[in-house]
């Protein structure tokens, strides 16, 4: 008999589990069902950071929805992955904002475009979202121009009504502080007003900068997660001359330091499961076990279904097809690999598929 796509995913996942190296001796058991965090909502199916994207994630069973936060000129927290918004809104099509185009250095990188801090909230609300990855997610472009840029308040209200958690990320807090728009006090005020100021509240606050989380630890009591990249140095370290890298912070000593201000880490997934030069999995690291030993949970990022983001062994379809990289591969097998290594949660652009792979 012929096999369905679901059957193919399950069978290929089983074969991969047998053929690829998997040493779980360095891992420790995670929760029975890892938390599913809708990365920028359900950004695989709707333009990211829109109420439609968050709502879609909730419909698909996400435990948490993730709003990235930046600030407007008048100090309002709004949901965009970056403060440069030409890639995710139609701002370039607004002639009244043509003179706002600028080149700025954000965390050491020169960027040209339009920036949230140069717009009031009222002006931001005249813009409409568009798909960030149209080449890979052509279906999402059907929604271009339909949705506003939401505020953090709007996302908090949506999550409360749906009884799901929120997992906000403070973006570029060092930069915003330098231009006179510090983020932490504004964020803490929102957390308290929403009744989320406790360890048991359905919220994690995340950031790639230690200084911001340390400041917040003195303002609010909710759970905090330090985000980690596989390469480089935290921006706040660069600003103060601290020579430690993300790799240094991933050591047992570094994790003990993180545990003084955070409850978990959000590592790039290659920090747990490295790959070789061809993109194939190699031996897992000890990061899961080391983090758990320090009392930290692990929520790695980001699990995406398109072949473009998957190891070669998990890609499905005809490699000669024009849309091969946009086709969906076996993300379920990738997620199951990480679950076997002991993670406590994960970020996915496709929370429904992620939930199906873990429950």
Domain with 327 in it: what CATH number? 3.20.20.190
User: pLDDT tens, 266-323?
Assistant: 999 999 999 999 999 999 999 999 999 999 999 999 999 999 999 999 999 999 999 9
* Residue 9, pLDDT score: 40
Q: Specify if 126 maps to a domain.
A: no
Burial class of residue 243, CB neighbours in 10 A (0-12, 13-18, 19+): exposed
Residues with a catalytic annotation lie at 39, 81
Percentage of residues of the chain with pLDDT beyond 90: 90
* Cα four-point dihedral sign 51, 328, 270, 19: positive
Please report, for residues 143, 148, 254, the alpha-carbon distance to residue 245 in angstroms, rounded to integers and kept in the order given. 40, 37, 10
Percentage of residues of the chain with pLDDT beyond 70: 91
User: pLDDT tens, 78-107?
Assistant: 999 999 999 999 999 999 999 999 999 999
CB 182 within 8 A of CB 109: no
Mean pLDDT of 253-277: 98
* Residue 5, pLDDT score: 38
pLDDT at 22 over 60: no
Q: Specify if 217 maps to a domain.
A: yes
Mean pLDDT of 240-263: 97
Q: Specify if 36 maps to a domain.
A: yes
Report helix, strand or coil for 193: helix
Q: What does DSSP say about strands 297-298 and 345-348: parallel, antiparallel, or unpaired?
A: unpaired
* Residue 154, pLDDT score: 98
Q: What are phi and psi of 299, to 5 degrees?
A: -130, 85
pLDDT at 70 over 60: yes
Q: Specify if 74 maps to a domain.
A: no
* Residue 16, pLDDT score: 44
Distance (Å, rounded) from C-alpha 112 to C-alpha 84?
8
Distance (Å, rounded) from C-alpha 205 to C-alpha 216?
9
Q: Which pLDDT band holds residue 359 (cuts at 50, 70, 90)?
A: confident
The residue written with tokens 């406790």 in the block is: 198
User: pLDDT tens, 146-196?
Assistant: 999 999 999 999 999 999 999 999 999 999 999 999 999 999 999 999 999
Write 218-223 long-range contacts (CB < 8 A, 24+).
Answer: 219/184, 219/185, 219/188, 220/188, 220/191, 220/192, 221/197, 222/191, 222/196, 222/197, 222/198, 223/199, 223/263, 223/264
Q: Specify if 169 maps to a domain.
A: yes
* Residue 24, pLDDT score: 43
Tell me the two tokens of residue 187.
């964020």
Q: Which pLDDT band holds residue 19 (cuts at 50, 70, 90)?
A: very low
- Going by C-beta distance under 8 Å and a sequence separation of 6 or more, which residues neighbour residue 191? 197, 203, 205, 220, 222
Q: Specify if 90 maps to a domain.
A: no
The residue written with tokens 């997992």 in the block is: 167
pLDDT at 8 over 50: no
pLDDT at 25 over 60: no
The mean pLDDT of the chain is: 93
pLDDT at 7 over 60: no
Domain total for the chain?
1
pLDDT at 234 over 80: yes
The residue written with tokens 């990855």 in the block is: 133
Domain that holds residue 251: 5-69+150-358
pLDDT at 27 over 80: no
* Residue 40, pLDDT score: 98
Tell me the two tokens of residue 119.
């717009």
Distance (Å, rounded) from C-alpha 310 to C-alpha 331?
7
Q: Specify if 179 maps to a domain.
A: yes
The DSSP line for 253-293 is HHHHHHTTT-SEEEEBGGGTS-B-TTS-B----SHHHHHHH
pTM for the predicted model, two decimal places = 0.92
Q: Specify if 294 maps to a domain.
A: yes
């Amino acid at each position: 008999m012929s096999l369905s796509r679901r059957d193919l995913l399950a069978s290929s996942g089983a074969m991969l589990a047998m053929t690829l190296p998997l040493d779980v001796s360095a891992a420790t058991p995670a929760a029975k069902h890892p938390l599913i965090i809708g990365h920028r909502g359900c950004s695989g199916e709707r333009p990211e950071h829109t109420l439609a994207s968050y709502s879609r994630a909730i419909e698909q069973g996400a435990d948490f929805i993730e709003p990235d936060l930046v600030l407007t000129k008048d100090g309002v927290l709004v949901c965009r992955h970056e403060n440069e918004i030409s890639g995710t809104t139609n701002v370039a099509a607004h002639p009244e904002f043509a003179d706002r185009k600028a080149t700025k250095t954000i965390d050491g990188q020169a960027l040209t475009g339009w920036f949230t801090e140069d717009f009031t909230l009222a002006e931001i609300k005249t813009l409409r979202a568009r798909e960030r990855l149209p080449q890979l997610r052509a279906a999402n472009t059907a929604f271009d121009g339909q949705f506003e840029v939401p505020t953090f308040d709007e996302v908090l209200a949506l999550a409360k009504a749906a009884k799901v958690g929120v997992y906000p990320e403070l973006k570029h807090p060092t930069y915003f502080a330098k231009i006179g728009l510090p983020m932490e006090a504004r964020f803490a005020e929102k957390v308290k007003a929403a009744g989320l100021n406790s360890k048991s509240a359905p919220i994690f606050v995340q950031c790639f900068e230690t200084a911001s989380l340390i400041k917040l630890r003195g303002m609010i009591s909710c759970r905090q997660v330090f985000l980690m990249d596989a390469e480089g140095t935290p921006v706040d370290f660069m600003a103060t001359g601290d020579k430690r890298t993300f790799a240094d912070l991933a050591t047992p000593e570094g994790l003990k330091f993180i545990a003084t201000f955070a409850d978990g880490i959000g590592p790039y997934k290659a920090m747990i499961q490295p790959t070789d030069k061809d993109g194939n999995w190699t031996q897992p690291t000890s990061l899961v076990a080391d983090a758990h030993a320090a009392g930290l949970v692990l929520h790695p990022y980001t699990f995406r279904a398109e072949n473009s983001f998957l190891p070669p062994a998990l890609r499905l379809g005809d490699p000669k097809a024009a849309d091969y990289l946009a086709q969906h591969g076996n993300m379920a097998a990738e997620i199951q690999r990480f679950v076997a290594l002991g993670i406590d949660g994960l970020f996915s652009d496709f929370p429904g598929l992620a939930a199906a792979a873990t429950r």
